[in-house]
Amino acid sequence: QVVNGGFRTAPRAEQPERVVFTVSTGQAYPDQDAPGGGYKIYPAMLKLFAF
């Protein structure tokens, strides 16, 4: 399994920055609802990070 991600250090205190945070809990395997595994909400969550 490949996991992609990234990290940036925090901006200066006086520099405004967009912050995006999502969470998904209760990810029991039998409850997956997307074809091929996972959850239908994941693509929508990823779109929040596109800017």
Confidence (pLDDT) at 39: 87
> What tens digit of pLDDT does each residue of 6-35 get?
888 888 999 998 888 888 887 777 778 888
**Residue 33 resides in a domain:** yes
How is residue 2 annotated by DSSP? -
**Residue 20 resides in a domain:** yes
Asked if 45 and 22 count as a contact pair (C-beta separation under 8 A), the reply is yes
**Residue 8 resides in a domain:** no
Report residue 42 as tokens: 């994941």
| Dihedrals phi, psi of 27, to nearest 5 degrees | -90, 60
Domain count, the chain: 1
**Residue 3 resides in a domain:** no
Could you tell me which residues come within 8 angstroms of residue 34 by beta carbon, excluding any fewer than 6 positions away?
40, 42
Could you tell me which residues come within 8 angstroms of residue 51 by beta carbon, excluding any fewer than 6 positions away?
18
Confidence (pLDDT) at 25: 81
**Residue 42 resides in a domain:** yes
Whether the model pTM is above 0.75: no
**Residue 31 resides in a domain:** yes
Give the pLDDT mean for 30-44.
Answer: 86
